[in-house]
Chain A
Amino acid sequence: MDGLVNVSRRRFLKASGVAGGGLVVGFTLTGCSSSAPPVVRLEGDFVPNAFLQITPENHFRFYCPRDEMGQGVNTGLTTLVAEELDVAPWEIEVLWAGVHSDYANPEFGVQGTGGSTSIKAHYRQLRQVGANVRAVLLEAAAGQLGRPVAALSTEDGHVLVDGERHPYGHFVAAAAAFAMPAEAPLKPASEFKYIGKEFARIDALEKSTGTAEFGIDIDVPGLHHGVVRRCPVAGGALKSFRDDKARSVPGITDVVEIGSGVAVVADRYWAAKKGAQALEVEWSLPPLASLDTERLQADYRVGLDRDGDVTGERGDLDAGFRQASQVVDNEYWAPYLAHAPMEPMNAVVRIEGGEADVWTGSQGIVAAQGLVARYSGLEKSKVRAHNTYLGGGFGRRATLTHVIEATQLAVATGKPIKVLWSREDDIQSGIYRPASLMRIKAGVDDAGRLTAWQAKRVGGNITPDTLGNMMPALLPGAVGDGVIDWMVGLADGAFDGWVVDHSSIEGLYEDYDTPNREVRHVTVNHGLPLTFWRSVGHSYTAFAKETMMDELAAKAGLDAVEFRLRNTQDKPRLHNVIRVAGERLRQWPRRPGRHLGFAAHSSFSTDVAEVAEVSVDNGAIKVHRVLCVVDCGVAVNPDIVRAQMEGSVMYGLTAALHGELDLENGAIKQSNFHDYPILRMNEAPAVDVVIIDSTEEPTGVGEPGLPPIAPAVANAVFAATGQRLRSLPLKLA
């Protein structure tokens, strides 16, 4: 390893608080990304990483580069490195990685967790880390024991030779002197001990004893609590406020005007909360304040007649419709949704002696660091960002305005500050899954083959707001706010009239073999901030596409499975999950009053087919059982794959049966779990998960189970009642 890299790494490890001695392992990987840190350029094609630490006492530490929000990434990524290192995953202490480009998500080029990418993106990289380290340890052991490498083997963190077991730790001092191989051979799948095997997730104990630490649990000496009053309408500005009543609450130390509103600071949360409630605030309302849901829908309906921007064109649409013997033309509606993770947004920021610390559970710790630097005026190198467990993410924790608020309060008061949002803040002052009006017109011929697929989506674009919230964090401090606004404006403008924001229409047209198709997008944006919500565009497009497929199947005189099989000749993996789920559907034990619905969808490179067993009683829809067939390539931890499918079904059912945010005078009407209900245990179906056996590399798992559930339930409701429901949430007439 190059000396400069070593120096750089030591400095970094020191800065990020890696303590103790032992072997700290960097590794080199061919095929570097454009985000490679400057030191690597001295080495040409290599990108170093810093993931593992082994002490002389044979203690193993893994610096987990992705954020754990429930999806099991700390178990999954630890398993990858453990497999090739030949140590049991549960023997390894897992720590959250600090900020460093070595920890970038290989798919994004920056440190970010989302898009169901973690296992897929790190599958080879982290196994290679483990294999390289094991190879170096074997070389060191061979030298120290005076035996050839070929005479040595490994097991559970030990080198085995002549019936003796030597802990890896005995060789770490010697190993530090050896050059790391570029690519030590990886195990064949037949030798896997942990990948593909069942074992309890490594964080289950901490999370069952109340000892797992979330952002909300962070405490530092002198910590003060900030509660912010924000304009009820997004984009509004503070006009004036009176704080005499607020200041009379015991414990209040400061009342501060910040970018998002007015904050009350106290030595304990409850006092700050009471103080914030006692503030009298007047707002300057933005144009959004004249909007309610009815007008929004009317505006979208007008948008549906606009041409919009074209994408996904193929073949000759008119010819396709001429070949059709049946044509179906429908509109579909999906409302705004909040993510509502159980842990409300929060962050702790401490600024002291020209340096800062930020603690927050986020989907991009580098963004937390960048925001603290920008809003405190400190260099990024002076800001230490500490990750924690995330009490749910679902896309919400990629937007970190709460970090800005905590930073502004820490700067203004000189105190360490925790900002905690209430549930009302979360639902009413957040960033949302966009509402969408969709139209699909499709033709099918006498052979049951799709001949034409014309789709349009009307609504706000998902990407620009998220980009706008991230850019201040990721760009250098020298890039001013005005420049950022201009760049975000460019992106926003580009998505209206130039190119289509793919996230906003993904899933609307790709899955089936349609020789003639056209997809259009019409941007109608009223200003409510929008972002990624578990499965993003797929969360609404699959509902439109898969309920349309059911109608087309009926028109073609085919059953739901056969029709989909005929139209997935070019999609073997999707075809196969439809086939397997279809076989289960045929064998499904029929119960009186129960009805079955089918849907399939590809997202995040994973294919899923689902069957929902539903009953309808006095207009109430009850989902009793769900079958989920998934092909996600190699299931690194099958039980976590199963858990993600179960969880995605529940998250999707909340949206299918309950999820709806309404606008009234531009403000979100719903406020807490009484009027924004989340699925509860008495409503939760049994979920049977079938994982297709595969040797292909892993694909996404955190989101793909979600998109098919709403249409599967809607199709079952049709079977039960004869009513085609084309709006979410599903409500019977």
Chain B
Amino acid sequence: MIEFTLYGIRVQTDESPDTPLLWAVRDTFKLKGSKFGCGAGFCGSCTMHVDGEAVRTCVLPIAAVAGKAVTTIEGLAEPDQLHPLQEAWVSHSVPQCGYCQPGQIMSAAALLARNPNANEAEVESAMAGNICRCGCYPRIKQAILSVAGQASGPSLDDLATEVS
């Protein structure tokens, strides 16, 4: 029996200890916001917070989270509220298919928790582990920078918005 907390609630599971945290959360605890993308830690779709750190949970056995605090996209903000990143995601119309976005947001939230004023290079470095096949990268970056107080990124300069 392995015990950990899932956004503050103590939970137990008798799943085999090698079960990746992602599958325990999705299949046992029925929280479906965290996604399966590669099963090898390459794409970041499964990102959750374990003791505040962004972790790829498709390769993290539940044995490794015994006694730790796990947070998923469902627990990122207070109930009925949005995390500032989620607000920025909506106002920048970031998502396309949306499948990778919970993982993107969890990675970004862990970054801003340790570095609230992250600059463009720091954002690129922290987010390089999260793949978006739809290619929402410019908007993801702008959304994070807007929350980090670094909003005026260079992507919309004189070439950008004019309509001919």
Residue numbers of A with Cβ under 8 A of B are: 68-72, 200-201, 203-214, 216-217, 219, 250, 268-271, 340-344, 389-394, 420, 422-424, 580, 584, 587-588, 625, 627, 629, 639-640, 643, 646-651, 672-674, 678-682, 684, 686-693
Contact = CB atoms under 8 A, between A and B. Distances in A.
Contacts of A588: 159
A416 to B, nearest CB: 14
A692 B33 contact: no
B141 interface: yes
A639 to B, nearest CB: 6
B98 to A, nearest CB: 3
Considering the complex of A and B, which 4 residue pairs feature the smallest CB-CB distances, nearest first? A210-B33, A650-B135, A207-B98, A391-B99
Interface string B117-157: 00000011101111111111111110000000000001111
Given A208-B86, A208-B89, A344 B36 contact: yes
A627 to B, nearest CB: 6
A213 B32 contact: yes
Contacts of A201: 93, 95
B9 interface: no
A210 B72 contact: yes
Indicate the size class of the contact surface on chain B: 35 or more
Contact of A647 (B33, B102, B136): B136
Given A201-B93, A393-B97, 15 more contacts: A69-B97, A71-B96, A210-B32, A217-B32, A268-B27, A268-B28, A341-B99, A389-B99, A625-B159, A646-B139, A647-B134, A649-B135, A650-B137, A679-B135, A684-B135
B5 to A, nearest CB: 18
A372 to B, nearest CB: 23
A34 B159 CA distance: 47
Contact of A209 (B15, B86, B97): B86
Contact of A70 (B98, B130, B163): B98
A651 B157 CA distance: 23
Contact of B124 (A269, A643, A681): A681
Contacts of A639: 93
A340 B156 CA distance: 29
Contact of A208 (B15, B19, B32, B95): B95
A648 B27 CA distance: 34
Given A217-B32, A390-B97, A681 B140 contact: yes
B51 interface: no
Contacts of B35: 214, 216, 342-343, 391
B156 to A, nearest CB: 7
B133 A270 contact: no
B89 A680 contact: no
B27 A269 contact: yes
Contacts of A394: 133
Contacts of A210: 32-34, 72-74, 102
Given A200-B90, A208-B105, A688-B159, A681 B141 contact: yes
B42 A674 contact: yes
A640 B39 CA distance: 31
Contacts of B156: 688
Output the residue of B42, B73, B134, B160 with the most chain A CB within 10 A: B134
Contact of A690 (B97, B131, B162): B162
B96 A647 contact: yes
A99 to B, nearest CB: 22
Interface in B32-67: 32-40, 42-43, 45
A510 B148 CA distance: 48
A250 B18 CA distance: 13
Contacts of B86: 205, 208-209
Given A204-B93, A216-B35, A268-B23, A690 B164 contact: yes
B128 A342 contact: no
A612 to B, nearest CB: 13
A307 B88 CA distance: 57
Contact of B96 (A70, A420, A625): A70
A423 B58 CA distance: 12
Given A269-B23, A342-B45, A643 B93 contact: yes
7 contacts: A69-B97, A639-B93, A648-B135, A672-B38, A673-B131, A679-B135, A680-B131
A692 B164 contact: yes
A647 B95 CA distance: 11
B12 interface: no
B100 interface: yes
Nearest to A679: B135
Contacts of A217: 32
Contacts of A389: 97-99
A340 B38 CA distance: 10
Nearest to A216: B36
A219 B133 contact: no
Given A343-B35, A688-B160, A250 B90 contact: no
A270 B23 contact: yes
Contacts of A68: 97
B159 A627 contact: yes
A25 to B, nearest CB: 29
Given A210-B73, A270-B27, A391-B97, A673 B43 contact: yes
Contacts of A674: 40, 42
A204 B95 contact: yes
B115 interface: no
Output the residue of A422, A625, A650 with the most chain B CB within 10 A: A650
Contacts of B70: none
Contact of A651 (B26, B45, B135, B139): B135
Given A71-B96, A643-B139, A681-B127, A423 B39 contact: yes
Given A268-B15, A269-B23, A681-B141, A343 B99 contact: yes
Contacts of B102: 210
B164 A204 contact: no
Interface string B4-33: 000000000001100110010011101011
Nearest to B38: A423
Contacts of A681: 123-124, 127-128, 130, 132, 137, 140-141
A709 to B, nearest CB: 11
Contacts of B45: 342
B51 to A, nearest CB: 20
B82 interface: yes
Output the residue of B134, B135, B156 with the most chain A CB within 10 A: B135
Contact of B98 (A203, A650, A651): A203
A647 B23 contact: no
